[in-house]
């Protein structure tokens, strides 16, 4: 399996809802990432997990809570989001954090009402 998968593909939620985004890879990669991409903008780094430990948190609001249950899975828990959080959320993985290709999943299109 040479792909990064993400579920769900689309998610619509209210500002009081709690939801989770899921990401999975079976390439044996040890680094996983969450990026946020607004329309017509580049992806922006949110979190980096290296060997299942959070190594980077790019000053992301606490309403976004990442979790890495094991080396193949990455979750992003969402709570009390704002309409401006609507975006495409991309997961990526790489063999390690140093000088390695990052492969992206298809993304979850999130709409916050």
Partner 1 sequence: GENVEQHPSTLSVQEGDSAVIKCTYSDSASNYFPWYKQELGKRPQLIIDIRSNVGEKKDQRIAVTLNKTAKHFSLHITETQPEDSAVYFCAAPGGGADGLTFGKGTHLIIQP
Q: Give the footprint of partner 1 on this chain (CB under 8 A).
A: 33, 35, 40-45, 48, 50, 55-56, 58, 90, 97-107
CB of residue 79 to partner 1, shortest distance in Å: 23
At residue 85, φ and ψ (nearest 5 deg) are -80, -5
Give, in order, the Cα–Cα distances in Å from 98 to each of 8, 65, 74, 83.
Answer: 29, 24, 19, 35
Question: By C-beta, is 17 or 102 nearer to partner 1?
Answer: 102
Compute the distance between CA of residue 3 and CA of residue 91 in angstroms, rounded to an integer. Answer: 11
CB of residue 32 to partner 1, shortest distance in Å: 10
Question: By C-beta, is 75 or 106 nearer to partner 1?
Answer: 106
């Amino acid at each position: 399996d040479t792909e990064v998968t993400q579920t769900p593909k689309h998610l619509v939620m209210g500002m009081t809802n709690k939801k989770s985004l899921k990401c999975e890879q079976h390439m044996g990669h040890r680094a996983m990432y969450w990026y946020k991409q607004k329309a017509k903008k580049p992806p922006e780094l949110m979190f980096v997990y290296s060997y299942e430990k959070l190594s980077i948190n790019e000053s992301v609001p606490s309403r976004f809570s990442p979790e890495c249950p094991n080396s193949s899975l990455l979750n992003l828990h969402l709570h009390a989001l704002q309409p401006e959080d609507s975006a495409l959320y991309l997961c990526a993985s790489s063999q390690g954090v140093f000088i390695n290709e990052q492969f992206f999943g298809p993304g979850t299109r999130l709409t916050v009402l």
